[in-house]
């Protein structure tokens, strides 16, 4: 049977972005009114796209200025365990490695985020990750502030909060058309029509497509494919306590992953929005770069995938009402940082949807409405 339903807010997209803002909007905590929220997700499984394909790292030193501020502001949420007591993060430092000819890149990284990093020799780096080739690594920078995120648990926690607040998450419900009908937006899906005065566009790589459906000016989102492989650890080696190892110029990374190793060529290939799949060339490049830096021979690829990291021109996220369409709210462009920023970005977006100030703790971390605005210079 076709549905005809109305809500206060319709969120398009059930990834980490859509569920984080929906959780905050459905929450009647404090003295705010809870809003009736409906999340529409095209896939049958939430997290099928980028949210379920990440490297699951919390890295406060990674990304441009506002991303780093949002990541810092998300720290308290990551320190709060899930309702069943399971921690949302696990220890996992990051080690940026450099060859002898990359001393300049080490200096640049030190200049950008030096206060949080510890400079070490190649020998010290190899004590932390013995698989590193002596002939490859000359010096390294250790970031003890990074951690591993339990992404599925974080995502599930947001979904539970949506439902606990009376909200609804509707999978298998792809949005096919969006039009203004009086004060409301009319959102068409194969399951029926949903109406609300506010639509939140949290459609990940498809956010510009959603804007076009609604007749709203796109923000110039560029999805970029990134590949990841799971390979075996050498026989008898336990990698569990190793840091994540990243080349200082972000050409590859390696991370312990449930008894195996996650490796990536850190590719950034432009792509249309799609169900991204790994390309043979990227897999070959990945294996070559990893075998060059590590004493590792990749004999078997246990699992492989690719996902889309979506960016606008300045690399910062977009959160705010469209200037050209009342009630159309953007929540997009989280790039490679959408998990680590989700708690603070979800709260920020919810405040802006409600036309409130950005929460004090997030503003104090350095997040300003103007730097998230879809109307800021350079977008579109
Ligand atoms: C290999 C890789 C490594 C990464 N590593 C990290 C990391 O270590 N740390 C970190 O913080 N971030 C990382 N990221 C980035 C992070 O995963 C993303 O920033 C984040 O998942 C984006 O979430 P999202 O909800 O915007 O997008 P998505 O998870 O893609 O969700 C968007 C949803 O919108 C839905 N949708 C689209 N169109 C429609 C429609 N018409 N109707 C209904 N629904 C629709 C889609 O089906 C999708 O489920 C990584 C990404 C990749 C690919």
Residue-wise over 334-355: b if at least 16 C-beta within 10 A, else e?
bbbbbbbbbbbbbbbbbbbbee
Q: Each residue of 298-317: pLDDT tens digit? A: 999 999 999 999 999 999 99
What local confidence, expressed as pLDDT, does residue 81 receive?
95
**Is 213 found in the same domain as 325?**
yes
Mean pLDDT of the chain: 96
**Is 252 found in the same domain as 186?**
no
Please identify which residue in the block is written with the tokens 């009319």: 186
Domain contains 155: yes
**Is 246 found in the same domain as 122?**
yes
Give the tokens for residue 40: 């529409």
Q: Which of 281, 311, 341 is the last residue of a domain?
A: 311
**Is 293 found in the same domain as 172?**
no
Asked whether the predicted pLDDT for residue 325 surpasses 80, the reply is yes
- Number of helices and strands (H, E) in the chain? 10, 22
Distance 28 CA to ligand 1 centre (A): 27
**Is 211 found in the same domain as 252?**
no
**Is 53 found in the same domain as 179?**
yes
Q: Each residue of 169-210: pLDDT tens digit? A: 999 999 999 999 999 999 999 999 999 999 999 999 999 999
**Which residue lies with its CA nearest to atom 18 of ligand 1?**
338
**Is 238 found in the same domain as 180?**
no
Where residue 294 sits, what CATH number does that domain have?
A: 3.30.9.10
Q: Which of 280, 311, 342 is the last residue of a domain?
A: 311
**Is 136 found in the same domain as 20?**
no
Domain boundaries, position 278: 94-144+222-311
By most ligand atoms within 8 Å of CB, the mutation choice from 54, 159, 335 for ligand 1 is 54
**Whole-angstrom Cα distance, residue 266 to residue 246?**
9
**Is 246 found in the same domain as 286?**
yes
Q: How far is CA 367 from CA 19, 45, 252, in A?
A: 21, 32, 30
Domains: count for the chain = 2
Domain contains 86: no
Domain contains 276: yes
By most ligand atoms within 8 Å of CB, the mutation choice from 192, 204, 268 for ligand 1 is 204
**Is 168 found in the same domain as 26?**
yes
Contact indicator for 102, 134 with CB cutoff of 8 Å: no
The finding on whether 73 has its CB within 6 A of some atom of ligand 1 is no
Domain contains 82: no
**Mean pLDDT of the 97-123 span:** 91
Domain contains 109: yes
Q: How far is CA 51 from CA 13, 18, 55, 212, 249, in A?
A: 11, 11, 10, 23, 25
Where residue 319 sits, what CATH number does that domain have?
A: 3.50.50.60
Q: Each residue of 25-79: pLDDT tens digit? A: 998 777 778 899 999 999 999 999 999 999 999 999 899 999 999 999 999 999 9
């Amino acid at each position: 049977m076709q549905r005809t339903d109305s809500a206060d807010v319709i969120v398009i997209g059930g990834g980490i972005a859509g569920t984080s803002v929906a959780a905050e909007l459905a929450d009647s905590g404090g003295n705010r009114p809870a809003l009736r929220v409906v999340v529409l997700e095209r896939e049958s499984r939430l997290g099928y796209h980028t949210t379920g394909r990440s490297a699951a790292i919390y890295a406060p030193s990674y990304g441009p200025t506002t991303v780093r501020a949002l990541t810092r502001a998300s720290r308290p949420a990551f320190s709060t365990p899930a309702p069943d007591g399971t921690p949302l993060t696990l220890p996992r430092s990051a080690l940026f490695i450099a060859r002898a000819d990359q001393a300049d890149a080490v200096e640049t990284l030190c200049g950008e985020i030096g206060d949080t990093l510890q400079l070490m020799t190649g020998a010290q780096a190899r004590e932390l990750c013995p698989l590193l080739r002596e002939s490859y690594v000359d010096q390294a920078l250790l970031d003890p502030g990074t951690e591993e995120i339990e992404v599925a648990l974080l995502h599930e926690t947001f979904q539970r909060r949506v439902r606990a607040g009376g909200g609804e998450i509707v999978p298998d419900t792809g949005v096919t058309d969006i039009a203004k009908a009086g004060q409301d937006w009319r959102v068409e899906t194969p399951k029926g029509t949903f109406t609300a005065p506010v639509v939140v566009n949290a459609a990940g790589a498809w956010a510009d497509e959603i804007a076009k459906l609604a007749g709203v000016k796109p923000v110039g989102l560029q999805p970029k494919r990134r590949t990841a492989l799971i390979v075996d650890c050498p026989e008898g080696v336990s990698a569990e306590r190793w840091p994540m190892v990243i080349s200082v110029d972000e050409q590859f990374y390696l991370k312990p992953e449930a008894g195996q190793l996650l490796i990536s060529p850190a590719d950034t290939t432009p792509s249309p929005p799609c169900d991204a799949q790994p390309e043979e060339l990227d897999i070959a490049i990945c294996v070559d770069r990893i075998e060059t830096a590590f004493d590792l021979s990749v004999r078997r690829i246990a699992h492989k995938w690719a996902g889309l990291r979506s960016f606008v021109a300045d690399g910062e996220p977009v959160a705010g009402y469209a200037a050209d369409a009342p009630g159309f709210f953007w929540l997009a462009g989280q790039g490679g940082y959408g998990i680590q920023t989700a708690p603070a970005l979800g709260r920020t977006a919810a405040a802006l949807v409600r036309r409130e100030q950005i929460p004090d703790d997030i503003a104090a971390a350095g997040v300003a409405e103007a730097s998230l605005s879809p109307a800021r210079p350079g977008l579109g």
